[in-house]
Amino acid sequence: MSAPGCADAGTASPGSPRRPAKAASSPPTQAPGAWQSTVVGHSVRGRPIRAYHTGPPNPVRTTLVVGCVHGNEPAGEAITRRLRRTVAPSGTALWVVDVFNPDGRRANTRQNAHGVDLNRNSPWHWRPLDRPGGTYYSGPRPLSEPESRAINRLVERIHPNVSIWYHQHARLVDDSAGNRAVEADYARRVGLPLGKLGPYPGSITDWQDAMFPGDTAFVVELPAGRLSRRSVARHVAAVLALTKP
């Protein structure tokens, strides 16, 4: 990001449940409805990981939305791009990351350029899985990957009340360890079933739910292929509804 506290400086600690002070880590004041772009880190091959954000410096509620984690599951980018043309509800902050894994996206691979599944590389119950390039290879250690460290720092910095992570192709909203009512509400709004996926060792959403009780991070598994305009609109409306205080 070029914003303070977000440059890649090596492996971060797994974090603490204690909340950081919002005022010390909030984006600068901006005009209502304006969006700012911030580089929160870089991929293995040096590609920027860019977050877009809008809202006041001390929001009453913060939502994080990530469009693409696995490089061969890009449908959620249509939702995040559309969100960047909206206005967040009054008093709230909305953070959007189109692509968390830019190298995998470029190569159309699930893993990053080291062959690591970034959704098995977080500190939550991490354990060795698979081998480099394998479907669920978890890396040599937790937070071994620059992409994982970047998103870990971003979450600890902005402390989102709700985080939505798009994947494919299971076609459901995950009944995670967060607030089930929030997840069920999202599922109802977008017309997807609520179902149980995990938990998985090294999962980003499981790490968030464990580290920050009271907040809700969950996966939305979109159907295969590209989303229709109508589907994109439904997901955008659901995100904005969950962002309201």
In a domain, 42, yes or no: yes
Q: Is 120 a member of any domain?
A: yes
pLDDT at 9: 37
Residue 70 lies in a domain: yes
Residue 3 lies in a domain: no
Give the pLDDT confidence score for residue 73 in this predicted structure: 98
C-alpha to C-alpha distance for 206 and 125, rounded to whole angstroms: 9
- Count of domains in the chain? 1
Per-residue pLDDT, 128: 97
Inside any domain, residue 47: yes
The pLDDT value recorded for residue 22 is 39
> Structural domain of residue 164, as residue ranges?
27-243
Report the pLDDT value the prediction gives residue 133, as an integer from 0 to 100. Answer: 85
Instruction: Report the relative pairing of strands 61-68 and 162-168 from DSSP bridges.
Output: parallel
CA contacts within 13 A on the Cβ side of 32: 4
Taking each helix axis from N to C terminus, what angle separates 229-243 and 180-190, rounded to the nearest 10 degrees?
150
Give pLDDT < 70 ranges for the chain: 1-33
- CATH of residue 194: 3.40.630.10
Whole-structure pTM value: 0.86
Tell me which H or E stretch contains 67. Answer: strand 61-68
Q: Would you say residue 161 lies in a domain?
A: yes
| pLDDT number for residue 33 | 67
pLDDT of residue 198: 79
Instruction: Establish if 69 belongs to a structural domain.
Output: yes
User: Quick check: is 131 in a domain?
Assistant: yes
